Amino acid sequence: MKVEIDVFSGYRIYPSKGRLFVRGDSKIFRFGASKNQSLFLQRKNPRKIAWTQVYRRMHKKGVTEEVAKKRSRKTVKHQRGIVGADLAAIAAKRNQTSQVRTQQRLAAITKAKAEKKEKESKKPKPQRTQASATTARNISKQQAKGGRGGR
Amino acid sequence: MIGLKGTLNVIDNSGALLVECVNVLKNKVNNGWGSVGDEIVCVVKRARPVPASAQLSAAALKVRRGDVRRAVIVRTKKPVRRPDGRWVRFDDNAAILLNNKREMLGTRIGGVVSADLRMKGWGKIVSLAPKVI
């Protein structure tokens, strides 16, 4: 015994109830009552007839039990190592305390200053000319920009 | 409920397109009406044009307009009751042509056929049909 579903209203059709209609294109339609059949043949849209299952599903009537369908999809983030720095190196860098970082910065600064002093002591003359040339260029650019801005 | 003057589509390849019922056999049992699985005598009202160039049709016989033949009803618009209580109704009335010995004239059937035929003893037609409902 198979309980069919009415094609119009979505109700269940028990055996010996309703009618089976075979259309010209060999499509089968099952009706549980003459009411459903009549509306179907009048070509009414079940989505607009308020008592049909189709309508109720569309307008979410009486569906409070099915709210559990809301499952939020959370993407899990995986930490990956890159070619230059593997996972351990990244973790090590991230977990450095601020003290360690400031120490590293100071060390770097002192190192840079020392290197600069060495350079200056080695080559005094060519640096000065280079500096004047760059400043001259700067001024000319500024002049040009100022001129355009005025007009 | 096919009776006198009732028209039916022909769904085999015998060449006829539309037949008109002239007489329902086993009349007294059915109160004058023919249903699925009943034999009727019919007149061919419309037939497919026969190619005038001789008898090329080796497969199927060609019937012409005005031929009086027998046929069996395979689909009715009037609902037919199944033993499980269901009522089945098709969108049109259809028949398959036969000869006097209850054999099919055509060789192929195009379309749906009612399963009630099997119960009335037309197993050969049911086996040839592409779809039986």
- Looking at residue A8, which CATH number applies to its domain? 2.30.170.20
Nearest to B90 among A17, A18, A22 (CB): A22
Q: State which residues form the domain around A39.
A: 4-58
- Whether A123 maps to a domain, the answer reads no
Mean of the per-residue pLDDT values for chain A? Answer: 80
Which tokens sit at A111?
């190192």
Query: Residues A62-81: pLDDT tens digits?
Result: 876 666 566 667 777 887 77
Query: Residues B73-122: pLDDT tens digits?
Result: 999 999 999 998 999 999 999 999 999 898 999 899 999 999 999 999 99
Contacts of A23 in chain B (CB under 8 A): 91
- Whether B83 maps to a domain, the answer reads yes
Sorted by sequence, the CB contacts under 8 Å of residue A18 that are 6+ apart come out as A4, A6, A30, A31, A32, A33, A36, B86, B87
Please state whether the predicted TM-score (pTM) of the whole model is above 0.80.
Answer: no
Mean pLDDT along residues A102-113 = 89
- pLDDT of A65: 63
CA-nearest of B127, B132, B71 to B99 is B71
- pLDDT of B59: 46
Question: Count of residues for chain A?
Answer: 151
- Whether A26 maps to a domain, the answer reads yes
Query: Residues B41-75: pLDDT tens digits?
Result: 999 999 988 765 555 554 456 788 999 999 999 99
Distance CA A40, CA A3 (A): 20
Task: Confirm or reject contact between B5 and chain A (CB < 8 A).
Answer: no
Contacts of A17 in chain B (CB under 8 A): 85
| Total domains, chain B | 1
- Whether A42 maps to a domain, the answer reads yes
Side-chain-facing half-sphere of A144: CA atoms under 13 Å: 5
| Total domains, chain A | 1
| CATH code of residue B17 | 2.40.150.20
Q: State which residues form the domain around B108.
A: 4-47+62-130
Q: Which of B:77-106 have CB within 8 Å of A?
A: 79, 84-92
